[in-house]
Chains A and B, each alone.
Chain A
């Protein structure tokens, strides 16, 4: 690792370490090409197609009406109240899910970064929600937890009320009354393990000698955490926020399953709105333009994510 990694950044461009004839170089590169070409074809080509479609006035219900309209679809995306509402919902949903699951994930990671009996089992059980099929998780929350008649929440409320002598607890229809909160809680449940794993990796990459030194110097646990662990974790926290945002922005199945974007448009996020525009209104051009907006937003966030990832890798290499 050492020889390769240390010399890589500086000398890479001028004198490839594994140089040789250009034929040899290409033989080395060949194994990478199928993956690279495949990734580009499957994602970039559709994106270019999306760009082209986004400039067309194209509704499949009006055959022969396909024509070039320039940027007018984008005008619709930014002026249409439904779409603006969808953008707002997306931001609210993503921000709340990311922040809450980050905080819970940090607490979990700190708890798990110590040895105790059954730590492996606890860790496994904690990552379970992340590995469960999102659709199944959404159905689980919708029917088993939020259902007003026999969901776990109202069941628990009932039990507590009966404990205090009342007949019946309040019957709350969680999904209709608090649609956004319901979706956020379900998603937080699902994404906390993801945040926890990244932060836990950060905690375990902490150099032990520094912590030992802090302890010898008499720093309290809280001081060590605030002054040493937290700054060390900064990169990992950034990474969790960025990756979390990128994936949570795309959330579709939870919305589709739990609320269908409703009631009204209270939980209609951009991906779901695109789906509706495409498969209910058949406005391909408009849907494509909204899709491009999502992609550009994602690229902006992803640029920051990639920068964080590559700086993490550089650190690894320098070790």
Chain B
């Protein structure tokens, strides 16, 4: 990655740009090439974030100011955040349900997924590729096609309005995601690690537990975040398998908000709920950004 191949006209500032491995900008870069990408990125970040900003602003307006279009709400009001927890919305309960369901799904998925992924990454057996295909294909099944028989089944065994009716189907989406992600992680690890451990007298199980698992911890952690997000976002199962507000998750509850009269839509509360549902996730993403990006791109990145 030497900069010595650069043409003389390239200034010191450009040496930094040239040291990017891609070097897509080429050598004919002028000063224009320096700010253009920045401008592009700024524009795109604006495009990605403007909707969030507007949501936060709308949630902070007073109920009477709903129709204002000022960029900064004056005066500020947190009334919407109080309204959203009004008992008639059962939003608090719904948040609890969401955390419970997504948390359980994450833990169960990781336990099963880690074993499955390790087997797929390291062992050779005849049906390996078929197994991987079936597991991945599972994640591509449209949820709506599963809802019909599951709804019928859960009605018969009286699971409608129960946590297990939300957790089990969600796992069928989460599991392929976890297996796919973890398989990529395990494949990245050199097989010599286990071979060395085996030479030193470990069984394969011990090698997995004492050598591989600690090293895979970052991968497992990333997968946990991704699975949690997927389970947290699940909608169609949560919508169809519940009809009592006690078991609704936050995703469904927020679409069932009602205003004081039957017809008006509680925009302020909806925006406040939106902030509550997205901002913690956004902060989590910011904190764990490196790991999440690494996880989402696992398998493609050479390290």
Q: Are B58 and A150 in contact (CB under 8 A)?
A: yes
CB-CB under 8 A for A127 and B66, given A35-B116, A150-B58:
no
Q: Are A111 and B45 in contact (CB under 8 A)?
A: no
CB-CB under 8 A for A205 and B300, given A1-B191, A124-B286:
yes
CB contacts under 8 Å to B, within A268-319, are 271, 274-275, 278-279, 284, 287-288, 291-292, 294-295, 298-299, 302, 305-306, 309-310, 312-313, 316, 319
Main secondary structure of the interface of A (DSSP, over half): helix
Interface size class of A (residues with CB under 8 A): 35 or more
CB contacts under 8 Å to A, within B218-253, are 229, 232-233, 235-236, 239-240, 251-252
The segment from A75-83, A95-103, A112-120, A175-183 that touches chain B is A112-120
Q: A298 to B138: give the CA distance in the assembly, Å.
A: 11
Cβ-based interface call for B77 (8 A):
no
CB contacts under 8 Å to B, within A208-237, are 208, 211-212, 215-216, 219-225, 229, 236
Interface size class of B (residues with CB under 8 A): 35 or more
Cβ-based interface call for A62 (8 A):
no
Q: A32 to B144: give the CA distance in the assembly, Å.
A: 27
Chain B residues near A121 (CB, 8 Å)? 289
Chain A residues near B164 (CB, 8 Å)? none
Q: A229 to B26: give the CA distance in the assembly, Å.
A: 13
Q: Are A53 and B24 in contact (CB under 8 A)?
A: no
Q: How far is the CB of B159 from chain A (nearest CB, A)?
A: 14
Q: How far is the CB of A155 from chain B (nearest CB, A)?
A: 4
CB contacts under 8 Å to A, within B105-163, are 112-113, 115-116, 118-120, 122-126, 128-129, 131, 133-138, 140-153
Q: How far is the CB of A128 from chain B (nearest CB, A)?
A: 6
With beta carbons under 8 angstroms apart, the residue of B55, B116, B144, B297 that contacts A271 is B144
Q: A36 to B190: give the CA distance in the assembly, Å.
A: 25
Q: Are A149 and B144 in contact (CB under 8 A)?
A: no
With beta carbons under 8 angstroms apart, the residue of B49, B69, B233, B293 that contacts A150 is B69
Q: Are A225 and B24 in contact (CB under 8 A)?
A: yes
Chain A residues near B31 (CB, 8 Å)? none
The proximity string for B residues 168-207 relative to A, scoring 1 for CB distances below 8 Å and 0 otherwise, is: 1101100110010000000111110000000000001000
Cβ-based interface call for B282 (8 A):
yes
Q: How far is the CB of B195 from chain A (nearest CB, A)?
A: 9
Chain B residues near A193 (CB, 8 Å)? 48
With beta carbons under 8 angstroms apart, the residue of A18, A247, A319 that contacts B124 is A18
The proximity string for B residues 258-288 relative to A, scoring 1 for CB distances below 8 Å and 0 otherwise, is: 0000000101001101100110011001100
CB-CB under 8 A for A34 and B141, given A43-B172, A129-B48:
no
Some 26 contacts from A to B, beta carbons below 8 A apart, are A31-B115, A32-B119, A47-B145, A110-B24, A113-B20, A125-B48, A126-B44, A127-B293, A128-B52, A132-B278, A134-B235, A136-B277, A140-B55, A143-B271, A144-B55, A145-B54, A149-B67, A158-B69, A211-B23, A212-B23, A215-B27, A220-B28, A247-B140, A306-B133, A316-B187, A319-B302
With A110-B24, A144-B54, A155-B69 known, 7 other A-B pairs at CB within 8 A are A113-B20, A120-B289, A132-B278, A132-B282, A136-B254, A150-B58, A158-B69
